[in-house]
Amino acid sequence: MRRKGVSYAKYGYIFSLPFILVFLVFSLYPILYTAVIGFTDMKGLIPKPIHIMDNPFQNFKDLLFDNASFQQSLLNTGLLWIINFIPQIILALLLTAWFTNKRLNLKGTGAFKVLLYMPNIITASTIAVLFSTLFAYPMGPVNSLFHALGWSDSPINFLQDKMTARGIVGFIQFWMWYGNTMIVLVAGVLGINPALFEAASIDGANGFQTFFRVTLPSLRTIMLYTLITSMIGGLQMFDIPQLFITPAGGPDNATLTTSVFIYGQAFKGSYMYNKAAAASMIMFVIAAVLSALLFYLMRDRDASKLKKQMKKQKKAAKAAARGA
Amino acid sequence: MKRILAVTTTALVMASALSACGGNSNSNNDASSSPSESASASASASTSEVSSNGSGEKVTINLWAFTDEIPNMEAKFIQTHPDLNVEFKNTVIATTDGAYQPALDQALAAGGKDAPDIYAAESAFVLKYTQGDASSYAANYADLGLTDDLVKEAGIAQYSVDIGTLDGNLKGLGYQATGGSFIYRRSIAKEVFGTDDPATIKDAVGPGWDKFFDAAAKLKEKGYAIVSGDGDIWHPIENSSDKGWIVDGKLHIDPKREQFLDYSKKLTDEGYSNGTQDWQEAWYADMSGSGAKPVFGFFGPAWLINYVMNGQVKDTNGDWAVTEPTTGFFWGGTWVLANKDVTKDEAKAKVVSEFIKWITLDTSDTGLQTYWANGTLKDGEPGTKDSVASSVVMAKSNGTVELLGGQNMFEVFVPANANATGKNLTQYDESINQIWRDQVRSYAAGKKSREDALKDFKQNVKDQLGIESE
C-alpha cells in the first residue's frame, strides 16, 4: 500500500487563522463601518439615532470644495512630505553608497548605523517637547545661538511663522526617519549578487558609475517598498504636527495635516464623526490611487515586455495549431 | 513528546496572536498606537480607594476627577463625619490632550454600577455637563436636599451659581472661587506710580482698558512691560463681554472680544508686553522678572498666585500684591456634580449629599472650605491657601500669603468674585478660544490684515466645529 505523503497544508491554515480572525474583527469591520459613517449625519457626543444623508455624498462634497481647513491640510500634507522625503532619500542613498562601498571599506559602520537609527527610537512626544523648547520664543537655545552668532538682532518666533514652522516639522520627520530608510536600503544592497559588483570593477567602473548603473537598478524593488511606505506614512503624518506646536495645527493652520484635521473633527469640539469618517475615506482613496501610480511607474519594464512577448507567442502557437 | 511540544507551541502562538490584537500596519511614519494614548502617556487613569470605618451599611461612591484635589479631601471628610460608612473609589484622569472628557462621557453613558456618582468638571468644559449635551446625567442639587437657601446663606459667588444652573435647577457648584485680580510687583509700582498701595494701583490700571493702556505707557517710559503677553489680558476681556461666542446657534463676535484684536496688536506694536504665550517657558520666566523687560503684573485668580507663581517667582517672592482688576472676570475652577441615578438609592443619596454639601456649602469650621481657605487640609502640614466659593468663609479666614508680602488676599478676592459673570460662556469655548487666539496672534505679529483674521476665524470655526457665523 502506498503511504500518502504528510500534508502540512492544514497547519498553515490553522496558524494563519488567529491573525485572520483578529484582522476581520478589529481591522476590516471598523474600516467598513467608518466608510458607512461617512455617508451619515453622525455627530455629537451623546449617541443619537443616525441616518443616511439625503445626498449620500454631501460630506465628501463639503469637505473637498467648501472646507478651507481640509483643503489647506491636503496642501500641508503634500508640502511637509516633500520637505521631509527629498532630503531623506538623498541622504539615505548617499550613506548607503558609502557604507556598502567595498573599495572605501569604512570602519565602524555598525556603530554609525546604530547612531543614525537612534532618532527613530525616541518617542514622538519627547522629540516634540525637545524641539519646541529649542525653538522657544523670545528666549530659547536657537534664538540665543543666532543672537550670539550675529545672524539676527531680535528673537525670531520660529513657531509663529508659517514657513519656519513647516520647515521644522519637515526637518523633524526627516531626522527621525532617514536612519530607517538607510538601514532598509543597505539591506537591499546586501542582497545584490556580488558577482555583479566584481564584474563592474573588472570592467573598470568607478564608485559613481557602480552606484548609478549597478546598485540603483538592482534596488528597484526595495526602492518601491521605501517609496510606498514613506508615501503612506507621509499621508498619515500625525504625531509630530499634533504635539509640536500647541494648539495642534500650528500658526494659522500651517502645519495642519489631514490626520490632525480628522482627529480634531472627530474627537474635539463638535465631535463630527461623519465628517471625520468622510475625510478618512478620501485619504484612503488618495493613498490607493498614489500607490497604484507608484506600482505602475516602478514596474519592471523588461519583465512585463517579456510577459507580453510570451503571450503573443502562445497566441501565435495556438493559432498555428488550429490552422494546421 | 514531540506531539506535546507541537501542541503547546501552537497554543502559545495562538494566544499571543490573539492578545496582540489589531492587524499589521506597515507604515513608515505614523504613531504606533492611537493618538490620544501615545501623546498623553503621562496622563493615564489612576484609581484609588479611600474608605472609612463608620457604622451602618457600607456605601461605595465612584468619584471621577481630573486632579488629586477632591480625592485628597476625602480623608478629611471621613475624619469629620465618623458616623458615615463610606468607601470612595476614585478615578483620576488628567485633562491633558482632552483625555478626561471622552472617558467621563463613556462612563456616564454606560451607566450601571460603575457609573460615576460624583464627578468634577473644569471651567473649560463645565457647561457641557451642567447645561449642555451631558446635562441630562446630572442630578439637581435640590433633589439631594441642597436648597437655594443654603446657597444664599453661604454667600456663594453668583457666577458659580449661574454656570451650574439649568432652567433654574442648580446642578453643580464649585468649592473654589476663581475670580480674577491684578497681581503686580510692589517695587515697580513704587518706582513708577509712587506707591504700592492696592487701592491706588486699582485706580491706575482701571476700570476700563483706556486707563490700563495709559498705565502701560507710563511703565514703558521706565523700561517695564505691563504684562507678559496678550494671553494675560485675554481672560479679563473674554469674561467681561456681554454675550458669549454662540448666540442662537450661530457664531457671534462680541464687540468687546473683537477689541482684543486691537489691544493685542497695541501690546505688541508699542512694546507694552514681552510677546510671550501663556503656559510657555518665557511666560513663566516673566514671573521672576527674568524676561526681556521686567513685567509689572499678571491677571489671575488665587490659584495663579498659590499654585503657579509660587514655584516661579524665586527672588521676587514677597514683592507682589493684589488689587482689583481692570475689569471683573473669572478663570478656571472646578464644579462638582452628582449623577442623577444616586437619588434612587437612599443610602447613597445621603452620603453624596453630605459630601457635596461639605465641599460646596458648609461654612462651619469643619467645612471643607474653611480648611481649603486656610491651607489646613492636611494635619500638621501647612498647605496652600486658596480663595473659596463662599464669601462667608473667606471673610473669617486668614488669607495672608508670603508671596504677596503678607497681604490678605481675600480682601481683594471677595469683591473680585462678585464681579465675575458666568452668563457668557458656551460649551465650545475651549475650541473657539484656541482658534480665536491663533488668529489674533497672526494679526498682532503683522502676518495678516484685520479683515482676514476675522474672516479666517469664522471659516475655521465653521470647518472645525460646524458652527455658522451670523
Interface of B with A in 120-149 (CB under 8 A): 128, 133-134, 136
CA of B92, closest CA in chain A: separation in Å? 20
Does position B111 have pLDDT exceeding 90, yes or no? no
CA of B429, closest CA in chain A: separation in Å? 9
Q: What does the pLDDT read at residue B46?
A: 63
Residue that has been written with the C-alpha cell 518617542 in this structure: A123
pLDDT digits (tens, 9 = 90+) for A234-258: 889 888 888 888 777 778 888 899 9
Does position B156 have pLDDT exceeding 50, yes or no? yes
Rounded to the nearest angstrom, the gap between the alpha carbon of residue B113 and the centroid of all alpha carbons in its chain is 29
Judge: B39–A27 Cβ closer than 8 Å, yes or no. no
> Does any domain span residue A21?
no
Judge: A44–B133 Cβ closer than 8 Å, yes or no. yes
CB contacts, 8 Å: A177 with chain B: 28-29
Q: What does the pLDDT read at residue B47?
A: 66
3-state secondary structure chain A: CCCCCCCCHHHHHHHHHHHHHHHHHHHHHHHHHHHHHCCECCCCCCCCCCCECCCCCHHHHHHHHHCHHHHHHHHHHHHHHHHHHHHHHHHHHHHHHHHCCCCCCCCCHHHHHHHHHHHHHCCHHHHHHHHHHHCCCCCCHHHHHHHHHCCCCCCCCCCCCHHHHHHHHHHHHHHHHHHHHHHHHHHHHHCCCHHHHHHHHHCCCCHHHHHHHHHHHHCHHHHHHHHHHHHHHHHCCCHHHHHHCCCCCCHHHCCCCHHHHHHHHHHCCCCCHHHHHHHHHHHHHHHHHHHHHHHHHCCCHHHHHHHHHHHHHHHHHHHHHHHC
Q: What does the pLDDT read at residue B136?
A: 84
Judge: A270–B463 Cβ closer than 8 Å, yes or no. no
Residue that has been written with the C-alpha cell 530659547 in this structure: A140
Q: What does the pLDDT read at residue A284?
A: 93
Residue that has been written with the C-alpha cell 443654603 in this structure: B150
CA of A199, closest CA in chain B: separation in Å? 35
Amino acid identity of residue B174, one-letter, is G
Residue in B21, B35, B109 closest to A242 by CB: B35
CA of B292, closest CA in chain A: separation in Å? 8
Percent of chain A with pLDDT over 90: 36
CB atoms within 10 A of CB B112: 7
CB contacts, 8 Å: B464 with chain A: 69, 264-265, 268-270
pLDDT digits (tens, 9 = 90+) for B43-70: 445 666 666 655 567 888 899 998 888 8
Residue A222 in contact with residue A190, Cβ under 8 Å? no
Which are the contacts of A117, defined by CB distance < 8 A and separation ≥ 6? Answer: A179, A180, A182, A183
> Does any domain span residue A211?
yes
> Does any domain span residue A51?
no
Instruction: Return the C-alpha cell found at A70.
Output: 481640509
Residue B371 in contact with residue B365, Cβ under 8 Å? no
CA of B47, closest CA in chain A: separation in Å? 24
Distance CA A76, CA A96 (A): 30
CA of A1, closest CA in chain B: separation in Å? 26
Question: How many structural domains is chain A composed of?
Answer: 1
CB contacts, 8 Å: B26 with chain A: 229
CB contacts, 8 Å: A237 with chain B: 29-30
For chain A, the maximum distance between any two Cα atoms, rounded to a whole number of angstroms, is 94
Q: What does the pLDDT read at residue B56?
A: 65
pLDDT digits (tens, 9 = 90+) for B356-402: 888 888 888 888 888 888 888 777 667 778 888 888 888 888 888 88
Residue B112 or B380, more confident: B112
For chain B, the maximum distance between any two Cα atoms, rounded to a whole number of angstroms, is 94
CA of B39, closest CA in chain A: separation in Å? 6
Interface of A with B in 30-59 (CB under 8 A): 43-47
3-state secondary structure B73-85: HHHHHHHHCCCCC
> Confidence band (pLDDT; 50, 70, 90) for B317?
confident
CB contacts, 8 Å: B460 with chain A: 68-69, 253
Q: What does the pLDDT read at residue A302?
A: 78
Residue in B31, B282, B431 closest to A239 by CB: B31
CB contacts, 8 Å: B132 with chain A: none
CA of B125, closest CA in chain A: separation in Å? 10
What predicted TM-score, i.e. pTM, was given to this entire model? Answer: 0.78
Judge: A230–B105 Cβ closer than 8 Å, yes or no. no
CA of B352, closest CA in chain A: separation in Å? 25
Residue B358 in contact with residue B80, Cβ under 8 Å? yes
Chain A / chain B CB contacts < 8 angstroms: 150
> Does any domain span residue A15?
no
Judge: A137–B36 Cβ closer than 8 Å, yes or no. no
pLDDT digits (tens, 9 = 90+) for A31-72: 999 988 888 888 776 667 777 777 888 888 888 888 888 999
Kindly tell me the sign of the dihedral angle through the C-alpha atoms of A150, A155, A157, A158: positive
> Confidence band (pLDDT; 50, 70, 90) for A1?
low
Interface of B with A in 83-102 (CB under 8 A): 98, 102
> Phi and psi for B288 in degrees, rounded to 5?
-105, 10
Judge: B29–A177 Cβ closer than 8 Å, yes or no. yes
What integer is the mean pLDDT of B76-95?
86
CATH code of the domain containing A154: 1.10.3720.10
Pick the CATH number of B181-329+401-465 from 3.30.200.20, 3.90.1820.10, 3.20.10.10, 3.40.190.10: 3.40.190.10
| Mean pLDDT, chain A, integer | 87
CA of A322, closest CA in chain B: separation in Å? 49
Q: What does the pLDDT read at residue B49?
A: 66
> Confidence band (pLDDT; 50, 70, 90) for B37?
very low
> Does any domain span residue A52?
no
Distance CA B41, CA A125 (A): 9
Search chain B and give the residue with CA nearest A226: B28
Q: Is A87 exposed, middle or buried (0-12, 13-18, 19+ CB in 10 A)?
A: middle
Task: Check CB contact of A193 with chain B, cutoff 8 Å.
Answer: no
3-state secondary structure chain B: CHHHHHHHHHHHHHHHHHHCCCCCCCCCCCCCCCHHHHHCCCCCCEEEEEECCCCCCCEEEEEEECCCHHHHHHHHHHHHCCCCCEEEEEEECCCHHHCHHHHHHHHHHHCCCCCCCEEEEECCCHHHHHCCCCHHHECCHHHHCCCHHHHHHHCECHHHHHHHEECCEECEEECECCECEEEEEHHHHHHHHCCCCHHHHHHHHCCCHHHHHHHHHHHHHCCCECEEEHHHHHHHHHHCCCCCCEECCEECCCHHHHHHHHHHHHHHHCCCEEEECCCCHHHHHHHCCCCCCCECEEEECHHHHHHHHHHHCHHHCCCEEEECCCCCCECCCEEEEEEHHHHHCHHHHHHHHHHHHHHHCCCCCCCHHHHHHHCCCCCCCCCCCCCECEHHHHHCCCCECHHHCCCECHHHHHHHHHHCCCCCCCCCHHHHHHHHHHHHHHHHCCCCCHHHHHHHHHHHHHHHHCCCEC
Does position B266 have pLDDT exceeding 50, yes or no? yes
Residue in A18, A124, A269 closest to B14 by CB: A18
Domain boundaries, chain B: 46-177+332-395, 181-329+401-465
Residue of A268, A274, A294 to mutate, testing the B interface (most B Cβ within 10 Å of its Cβ): A268
> Does any domain span residue A310?
no
Distance CA A243, CA A199 (A): 51
Task: Check CB contact of B53 with chain A, cutoff 8 Å.
Answer: no
Judge: B282–A259 Cβ closer than 8 Å, yes or no. no
Does position B469 have pLDDT exceeding 70, yes or no? yes
Residue in A19, A162, A259 closest to B17 by CB: A19
pLDDT digits (tens, 9 = 90+) for A164-185: 899 999 999 999 999 999 999 9
What integer is the mean pLDDT of A269-277?
84
Task: Check CB contact of B431 with chain A, cutoff 8 Å.
Answer: yes
Residue A22 or A249, more confident: A22
Task: Check CB contact of B339 with chain A, cutoff 8 Å.
Answer: no
Interface of B with A in 160-199 (CB under 8 A): none
Judge: A140–B281 Cβ closer than 8 Å, yes or no. yes
What integer is the mean pLDDT of B438-454?
89
> Does any domain span residue A305?
no
Judge: A243–B39 Cβ closer than 8 Å, yes or no. yes
Task: Check CB contact of A180 with chain B, cutoff 8 Å.
Answer: yes
> Confidence band (pLDDT; 50, 70, 90) for A3?
low
Judge: B28–A14 Cβ closer than 8 Å, yes or no. no
CB contacts, 8 Å: A19 with chain B: 17, 23
CA dihedral of B94, B96, B100, B101, whole degrees rounded to 10? 150
Same topology for domains B46-177+332-395 and B181-329+401-465, yes or no? yes
> Does any domain span residue A146?
yes
Residue B182 or B383, more confident: B182
Range of the domain at A280: 66-299
CATH number of the structural domain B46-177+332-395: 3.40.190.10
